[in-house]
Structure 1
């Protein structure tokens, strides 16, 4: 009989009863006593745990009235009548049931958590023992440690984190984040929970229960927690996100959460002077690269060692079995391998044949916790595995059945969101113990592949919990990042750590056997046959079998372009193989297969939609656009060119279409590939044009560019098929790229003159745009060049184009309009265009042409607005890259013009005289309040962007606001200006000089 949480806390003397997990009732005291007095469960359970709103004494008295006394055990947990959270002033405010019910994705650390509750001392001892043995901490652990004045040992990094949180609270951003990297077993999760517990009375602290769950739901609940009670009581949420299953956060899940938080802040119209949420993002990382700002390692400082020694003395005095506290003892011993060896010594010798089932469970857990730290098996699954014949009620406990192995394990229950888990978990006491056990097993002859296949053999995907299935798949296919020797950037490993170790410690055939077994166990999963295909072509050079398994993966998920990429990679590597016969027809045969595979991948990528756009339930969703099909095509073209040229030099002219000689094609018996050869150059030009815009306008992240080999292969393809210099100057994006690789003024002048001639003899918009851009680029290198056109001359060209295509132009056209017509705050007498409309048209044009390809990528600012005049006020982005990083948002730049602006309804407007032009914030989290601001202006292919947004001090706002209103009215009627000048005097002159800058 389990007494559960009340349905309605407002119903006094009512309690929600859950009988065997099936029936939920709300009962009064009398009804509750009658149920227990007459039920069979009453006789069987002489000790009952209660969860209720009224006192235990009242229950005892009522039971005596009914004529029967029940021995009531000390209460496990008593439901609080209300929970509290702090407001921004530090006062605790209560929350009603309906508010708490909306926070199902969050485990909130309430301000009054456990306070005033009658907690069973035995439960406290049990939870403390579990934790010291190696179980994850529970909030009850922190409460009891604080109450009993026996606090947790704080690692040195604790102070850094708390100071950083305080610093983030002072920054004018609605959303901030802190990345905490931690090595497995170093106590990273405990540290993060300690921070939340200690700040629960200052901030609204919560942990995301499942970091892989819907980020939209999480974001809504975070905003709900921030707004809880009313707008006057808003307070910052400190959100702990524990990425248990990833070593490195590639940003997709985190960026999705951030985007959804920003959207919810806008929708809720939140205007606050403090951050809405600070995200404490915990990431497991096995090896340190030196780039991590905060990383908790498996090594103690001198001060930490002293603190752990003192704690060890305290723990040993209170617990008789403290020698079994491996989780604590390993840390106290500074992660000593000697301790690990001694703790696992009694496992020797291990049986290799006819191993008992408890030994098999030990091997399963050792494998899982070594390669996926933090993973676990459930008690129910283990009991079923140990003894499938006996009914669960007649079985010995799991601890007894595990025998001596239980000393190295920890069995625990979890509590999330205040609810106790229905099934207990079991795992190794520490990842280092898991590593040692695995080593002892392999040393005794129980190989990694044996253990993995044995585990797979006892899995039934239809009945096993999805969590366990996900962990098993992670062991087989998750490729982690590592830093190769003598390299700066981290790279993905070719295979998972488990597969890498089996390959090195056993043999490659065992890897194949494991993959094949897994592919059979999970018949619908496409990623396992994909991984097997990769293993065949990378490690075994068996391209036929690799292609077979790659096609199997495609059959399982045909609408996934990333799955299709593997087949193209198989053929591409076969083409590069030295074993391929050096005959033209063989080269073109495999090349054709590779081209086809990559083209099909590219076509599939075109159909994939970004999250939130799916309508039919069939179309595949992809956060980013998969460009690997286009790039693979270019790589195959490079290889074909190289290989055919080595067969006969004449092939290079055929591929460049410099000759239409069919004799070579037929003499090499390649007639069936004639259509491919005829269209190859055109297809390559299309691919190269795609990459010109793709790589010039965007990059993966603000602080991350594409791998170096991508640009190398693209340039190589230019040189083979087209001639790099000629093509780079034939497109808008190509012209922009000339600033990076052409430094000669004479070369730039020649390019500008060429485009002038083309423009004079052409009526196309693109040629006119390229001519204007050529002038802008030349002005960056030579402001006094004689061939430069003036701004009014270039504006005239754009004015004519605007009249023809103002609503249907390309993003490049609108970019030029913004660059040349951006107001300087002075009243215009010449060419003028409606820049408000221009910004709107540009965004729509971007969505129509580039949104699909550049989604979730960082848009690079192409130019900034400087302090100069004419074309010299446009500054190329390479001069100010330091302005782009979030931590440099307070940076100053003498070369850039700071613009007055205003924030209204979470939108940013640039104020230039009477013009109010909407611009996008570079960091949307910096837009949190309706106020006057200033910022730098940059221009991306999507439109104008505000960088380094700063809020104007309150003392200046009143003057600025009314001064601006007066000036705007004055500009409408010229004669009023003369009348107003004596009244506003120097203020007006000061404002005018500011706008002229």
Structure 2
């Protein structure tokens, strides 16, 4: 036997792509019928004839049977492999389903032993050049694992080369997927739980001794594949935060947002624990999309996003992830002189957020510096949230003539030194926040409320008094950056610094850059 290029799979364009051992190892539960199966092998005629004889004695068909019959037919040495009743109808129905957006069920009735499995395998063999065909050989106890491997098969190859999967489930495997009948246990029927999924077709005959069935996209495995495939495309929370760094455009982000909306709806129907996480990713996808196109028709109204987040907050009171609380800060941070209609105690949420962070990440991240990706800017609603990439792009535009490495070094230096907060272009973009320092603790003062925040540099809060700063958000909580004591407002004595408490007056500072030329205290 000789293998020149290895195993190949068809793509949606009708071409073949070659896959390596890594792909083959990732789909061990499936007997994949590669598009070039047996083509590059020197088949021993004695072995082939024995397989043929065994088949006619009642043994299950092997791929070798179909291959040998195909070769012999092309050489005019034998008659073609007999196409069983229903073959043409099944092929036509599969091709018709590929044109639509919904999966469906087809029943092909056969007497026991009349060749339902052979028919199904014949269809797989004849469609191996246009679809990705496989037989499930592993145990059916873990549907999630099976779905994951089906997705690996569907997405194998480079971007844009995925193709529909035609999967055969054999004999008693069917019952494992069917589970208890709905008429007894209630709930929606299998057909009602089917999800739109044009890239997966599942066929199988029923248990031995019963009528044979061939079904497409059975809902239990289809649901799992719908969810996993969409999550794979949609990107999870950390990846979403970095989408703008990777240059994702409106089209990419609109698709991602749509996918998370569909996943969220799917999780709602299941009434499980997955809706909370799906909702978080959907909300973040909206935030990220709004940074590229604030008027995108894919954006969900802010009031609905807030209602969704509040519902999950109340349902899982005090038991949320740091990422969840980050969204709470982004959506519910108060705006001056504007009521948002929700009663969210942010000080309490921030304490819960810090506890959640300590339980989730502290032992892994220890005292590592957390780089904020979102800052509070001018404007309202989602438009007031500024992604860090926008600030980086300002510096790129200012240094277009510099080499890439030099630009990167310059940007890093501006962040690490704190020079970024003195840049006029950044000051035009971000919103200065009035605040106060008491006993080395920083509080943001907004809309009549005081909200405790962390100082990016603790050395900047060595005395009590009114301050002004920019606000950024991390998964540990809100952080004050570029803290300034406006010296033109009030002069503090040495005793003020020691005793801590100073009578506070709200500052009306339109912009930090208006005070940067005044006398400031730096340490």
Greater relative contact order (Cα 8 A, min sep 6): structure 1 or 2?
Answer: 2
TM range (shorter): 0.3 to 0.5
**TM-score where L is the length of structure 1:** 0.25
Which protein has the larger Cα radius of gyration, Structure 1 or Structure 2?
1
